[in-house]
Structure 1
Amino acid sequence: MTPTTALRLSLVSHTNVGKTTLARTLLGRDIGEVRDAPHVTEFAEMNVLLETAAGDQLQLWDTPGFGDSVRLLRRLQQRATPLGWFLAEVWDRWRDRPFWSSQQALRHVHDASDIVLYLVNAAESVATAGYVKPELELLSWLDKPVIVLLNQMGAPRAAADERADVERWRVWVAAFAQVRDVLPLDAFARCWVQEGALLEAIGRALGGDARLQRLHAEWARQRLARFDAAMHELATSLGRIAAARAPLDDGDRGLERFIPGRRRAASAAERRLAEALDAEVRASTARLLTLHAIDGRATGAILKRVASQVQLRKPVGEPAATLVGGVVGGALSGLAADLMAGGLTLGGGMLAGGILGALGAAGAARAINVVRGTGSGFAAWSDSALAPIVQATLLRYLAVAHFGRGRGEWVDGEAPAHWTALVDELLAAREPALAALWAGRATTLDNAGEAERLGTQLQPLLAGLTQALLERLYPGSWPAAS
């Protein structure tokens, strides 16, 4: 399709600051060459960042990095003379290739760009980044709107800390009239909603350009569709985890495993349940990464949070009932405490009215079987185990949503502390709704269709939670649906 109209963004910076890496992050695919060397990009390279059905294109041009900015400005100013033209087009090309590449970047910006995205290394202070001032003077000579992008800001931090860094740079570049905005957009740890903030800044710089408005709407449509797909994936995965059942083997049934103070080894059913969780987390993360056009792998770190919180639902055999009587000594409260401490949770009104005492030891065994609703026991995740699983799921999504291709292959890691605190805060407000979902789970081994039901009910809850997280982390950046 031939575009009817195009907006051209030129990504420029000092050499080896990370232009190509950021271009890869924004495009969601590997382009160009990325290595720790100056002037890797020798010519301006165009890639389509966005395109509408009407033919509007948002083009992203990756350009050669600047070198000696003072000398570069002087050479460009000389181009109008025959000697200056010879030096720029012939002499520099053969005798000083990096310097010639820098000139090509400036010529491209001058001739073809609508907006300049000027990338700086935010890890440097504005006082020590000596290359910034002459390069901004160089860009002033081109008379193009400039948006300064802060790269290499480190791991995601609290919004107030990030705003302080942005404000320091904003104050410093205020003397340059062509600079229209300063935004964080890290090639290593940007969040996708920050791309919308960039499009809004471009729109302001262009004065409400209709092409940009259409392109921004297309970006929002694509990103919200991907967000919905991600929430469906996570909710469906959580539904499968919450509904998981691992039948007990004969060796799992011994009631002596619940005697207080006795060390309890993991049963075969518990191990199967943990292995199923690990496989589910890995598979779900792989699908989430594919959805975001990222390669990587997921670790089994989630098991550290929940491995000790298996809930065993055991049918207690009558031959073992005398052991129950021996342990509890006929005290109903003791029976409840002993069994719950061992991992067997009794139903709500089970102990009311002295029922167990009236039944006696053998009767108690039958009552437990009746409460469980089956003669076949199983292991399942308890309600308390599902809380950290949901927390880990949200943190996993944030990690994927912040992935920048500068880090190479995605690997699950520890979440920043402010993410965890915010997730816990928002989860606390929704705890009653989640508790109601878990309480409605079947208490039988046969629970066909439950995973799908739970997934359907979880999706709007997860979507609302995740949107609230991103709005708190990046106020005003959530895309509006068109």
Structure 2
Amino acid sequence: MSEARISLSLISHTNAGKTTLARTLLGRDVGEVRDAPHVTVDVNAYTLISTPEGDELTLWDTPGFGDSARLAKRLRQHGNPIGWFVGQVWDRFRDRSMWFTQQAVSNVRDQADVVLYLVNASEEPADAGYLEPEFAVLEWIGKPVVVLLNQTGRSRPAAEEAAEHERWRSLLAGYRVVRAVLPLDAFARCWVQEITLLQEVGKMLPAERGAAYARLVDAWQARREAQFEASMAVLAETLARAALDLEILPETRLTGTLRDLKRALGVGRDAHAGDAKDDKAHAVQALGARIDSDLQAGLDRLIAIHELEGHASEELLRRIALTVSIEAPVNERKAALMGGAVSGALTGLGVDIAHAGLTLGAGMLTGAVVGALGGAGIARGVNMARGRRGTTLRWDDSFLCELLVTSLLRYLAVAHYGRGRGEWRETEYPAFWPPLVSQAVAAAKAGLIATWSGREGGRESGVEASGLAPGRVATAVRPVIAEIARKLLAELYPATPD
């Protein structure tokens, strides 16, 4: 056997998901997938990765073990059980179970450097009666085995998943051929788990094969890292365009009275109030339409990067209410007027009214403020500012950070999705994902905002007067997003050494 060619045999009890996992690892549809025993009837070899030096990592998809109890009983009757078994002539049609098992056993004995044994982790380990006879066969063969936990269900907090892994490790600890027990779900896994698997396999190979295998692992990791970097670029470009997007409103003036402030907010009953409110509504709709389109295009790009089928859902992707908050610079007299009008409700908001402007929104607008302004339904999302080029609306910093939370959740969902599930569909995230991502983004908020600071200078021909452009912001924010994503991946998919 060539030292540059390394083989992994994928084996399990029948109908445990071998071909589905092969599809996920290969990134393409191979074999036939049905919820029935003995769907795979032949041994099939697929190249997982190769290098210019001629190294090749092959994955063998084998028929599943069938009547394991009868198999083990027959094998125990012979001094050379495996040699006897593969030398028998089993009728493919009258004794399909033994014939299929013979194909799998022959492949493991003759081809495998390492065996990948797939188990259905949705079962209780003690209830999987096929394990003992099948591991007896693997013990007779003597090749190193990595047990892969399949059908693990929805992603759960690391402590819960670790407890499940420990149950399986404890059950299999008595088998000398079992070298590692790892999660790798055919339906929902992440690329960092693939890297962990390959690294564990490398520990089981003889030293003379180490150089070739190291090149193969490097090539595999480079492929997955390229997908990660391309994904981060998508997220950065989407965020940068949103950060620099704006709408210019028709000219309005702010006077020093509460009535005029209400009018600017769209609150009041004078003849111009409805027009001002309509202008803001149309501007927000235009901003929202552009970001919706960008999010849908970005999700399609993520799906393509990860070699999945499917398209972004046509349903509304934004899940954040997009009404208007106002950031309007005011002078000291206006600040005093507003301070009296809201009866101290702004106390503790940390806003320098006289110099930085009054921000209503970003979670800071209290019921007292709403009442003082006549019941205005003002929520977070958009800032409006009057500058030398007129009055503009743009997404506020808090909204942009929440946009990144949403984008990171979609990245994790796509990266977690196994190709064996078929066309990609967005589903509800595990309950612990959103707070975890929100916390990670909040911790990096200052660094994120710094990448688009100075954007208030206005814009001509797509370039900010301050010199900012979407490409420049994307370049600056991309490493910040990548660092957040890597921390999330490390927390969601910790290494699980035995």
TM-score (norm 1): 0.81
The answer to whether the 8 A contact 1:374-1:445 is kept is: no
Alignment of 1:190-209 (within 5 A): 190-208=189-207, 209=209
2:125 aligns to what SS in structure 1?
Answer: coil
Alignment match, 1:105? 104
Alignment match, 1:244? 245
- Count of residues in correspondence between the two structures: 438
Structure 2 counterpart of 1:200, which letter?
Q
1:11 aligns to what SS in structure 2?
Answer: strand
How far is the alpha carbon of 1:71 from its aligned partner?
2.2
Alignment match, 1:418? 432
Alignment match, 2:35? 36
Alignment match, 1:373? 388
List per-residue Cα deviations over 1:187-224 (Å, max 9, x = no partner): 11111001111011111122453122221122222222
* 1:114 matches 2:129: no
How far is the alpha carbon of 1:162 from its aligned partner?
1.0
Q: Judging changes above 3 Å, is the alpha-carbon distance between structure 1 residues 87 and 272 closer, same or farther for their aligned structure 2 residues?
A: same
Ranges in structure 2 where 5+ consecutive residues have no aligned partner: 255-259, 359-383
Alignment match, 2:471? 452
* Distance in 2, Cα, partners of 1:63 & 1:123: 22
Alignment of 1:321-336 (within 5 A): 331-333=337-339
Alignment match, 1:147? 146
Q: Which moved more, 1:222-231 or 1:468-477?
A: 468-477
How far is the alpha carbon of 1:433 from its aligned partner?
1.5
Q: Judging changes above 3 Å, is the alpha-carbon distance between structure 1 residues 173 and 436 closer, same or farther for their aligned structure 2 residues?
A: same
How far is the alpha carbon of 1:10 from its aligned partner?
0.5
Alignment match, 2:322? 307
Structure 2 counterpart of 1:164, which letter?
A
* Distance in 1, Cα, partners of 2:203 & 2:38: 32
Alignment match, 2:355? 349
2:291 aligns to what SS in structure 1?
Answer: helix
Alignment of 1:250-261 (within 5 A): 256=263, 258-260=265-267
Alignment match, 1:165? 164
Alignment of 1:276-315 (within 5 A): 276-299=290-313, 300=315, 302-308=317-323, 310=324
List per-residue Cα deviations over 1:316-340 (Å, max 9, x = no partner): xxxxxxxxx9xx8992546899xx9
List per-residue Cα deviations over 1:269-297 (Å, max 9, x = no partner): 21121111111001011111111101123
How far is the alpha carbon of 1:347 from its aligned partner?
8.4
How far is the alpha carbon of 1:78 from its aligned partner?
6.7
How far is the alpha carbon of 1:96 from its aligned partner?
2.5
1:388 to 402, 412, 431: 402
* Distance in 1, Cα, partners of 2:336 & 2:202: 76
How far is the alpha carbon of 1:351 from its aligned partner?
6.6
Alignment match, 1:428? 442
* Distance in 2, Cα, partners of 1:112 & 1:87: 16
2:48 aligns to what SS in structure 1?
Answer: strand
The answer to whether the 8 A contact 1:22-1:406 is kept is: yes
Alignment match, 1:471? 490
* Distance in 2, Cα, partners of 1:143 & 1:370: 73
Q: Which moved more, 1:295-304 or 1:218-227?
A: 295-304
Alignment match, 2:68? 69
Q: Judging changes above 3 Å, is the alpha-carbon distance between structure 1 residues 350 and 473 closer, same or farther for their aligned structure 2 residues?
A: closer
Q: Judging changes above 3 Å, is the alpha-carbon distance between structure 1 residues 284 and 329 closer, same or farther for their aligned structure 2 residues?
A: closer
List per-residue Cα deviations over 1:459-482 (Å, max 9, x = no partner): 1101111111112223358xxxxx
The answer to whether the 8 A contact 1:155-1:416 is kept is: yes
Q: Which moved more, 1:17-26 or 1:436-445?
A: 436-445
The answer to whether the 8 A contact 1:306-1:389 is kept is: no
The answer to whether the 8 A contact 2:385-2:392 is kept is: no
The answer to whether the 8 A contact 1:41-1:63 is kept is: yes
* Distance in 1, Cα, partners of 2:221 & 2:446: 32
Q: Judging changes above 3 Å, is the alpha-carbon distance between structure 1 residues 390 and 150 closer, same or farther for their aligned structure 2 residues?
A: same
The answer to whether the 8 A contact 2:68-2:134 is kept is: yes
How far is the alpha carbon of 1:127 from its aligned partner?
0.9
How far is the alpha carbon of 1:80 from its aligned partner?
8.1
Alignment match, 2:222? 221
Alignment match, 1:54? 53
List per-residue Cα deviations over 1:60-99 (Å, max 9, x = no partner): 0110011101323455677989xx789942x522312343
* Distance in 2, Cα, partners of 1:394 & 1:370: 29
How far is the alpha carbon of 1:444 from its aligned partner?
2.1
* Distance in 2, Cα, partners of 1:16 & 1:146: 19
Ranges in structure 1 where 5+ consecutive residues have no aligned partner: 316-324, 353-368, 478-482
Q: Judging changes above 3 Å, is the alpha-carbon distance between structure 1 residues 55 and 347 closer, same or farther for their aligned structure 2 residues?
A: farther
Q: Which moved more, 1:6-15 or 1:71-80?
A: 71-80
Alignment match, 1:234? 235
How far is the alpha carbon of 1:229 from its aligned partner?
1.6
* Distance in 2, Cα, partners of 1:279 & 1:119: 41
How far is the alpha carbon of 1:402 from its aligned partner?
0.7
The answer to whether the 8 A contact 2:328-2:386 is kept is: no
* Distance in 1, Cα, partners of 2:72 & 2:263: 84
2:98 aligns to what SS in structure 1?
Answer: helix
Structure 1 counterpart of 2:131, which letter?
V
How far is the alpha carbon of 1:260 from its aligned partner?
4.4
Structure 1 counterpart of 2:427, which letter?
G
2:156 aligns to what SS in structure 1?
Answer: coil
The answer to whether the 8 A contact 1:16-1:36 is kept is: yes
2:432 aligns to what SS in structure 1?
Answer: helix
Q: Judging changes above 3 Å, is the alpha-carbon distance between structure 1 residues 374 and 38 closer, same or farther for their aligned structure 2 residues?
A: same
Aligned-pair identity (%): 43
